[in-house]
Amino acid sequence: MSNVIVYTTDPCPYCSRVKGLLKSRGVEFSEINLSKDPAGRAELARETGMMSFPQVIIDGTLVGGFTEVSAADRSGLLAELLAPPGTEQLSPDSAA
């Protein structure tokens, strides 16, 4: 099982949207809300280079925010990132 971490803040409509997308795909994730942790926000920005929220990290790899996770979902990349090692995923184009 992949280790999925969703960094959020409040208020954040895109945080709610990305959590809803992940839940709709059956993805289990840990949420870390940094709305009251300025030092944690600064550290995350240093690590990822992103200042915006949400930030979704899968097995140590930054996927991005809602827009990037949504695009990864549509392209099949999200399923690939979440697949157990050694599991081959069919891309949407190879299903023919």
Write the CB contacts of 61 (distance below 8 Å, at least 6 apart in sequence).
81
Please report whether residue 63 resides in a domain: yes
How many domains, in total, are found in the chain? 1
Domain extent, residue 21, equals 4-84
- Domain containing 29 — which CATH number? 3.40.30.10
52 HSE (CA, 13 A, CB side):
9
Write out the chain's pLDDT in tens, 96 residues. Answer: 789 999 999 999 999 999 999 999 999 999 999 999 999 999 999 999 999 999 999 999 999 999 999 999 999 999 999 998 776 555 555 444
pTM, two decimals, is 0.86
Please report whether residue 96 resides in a domain: no
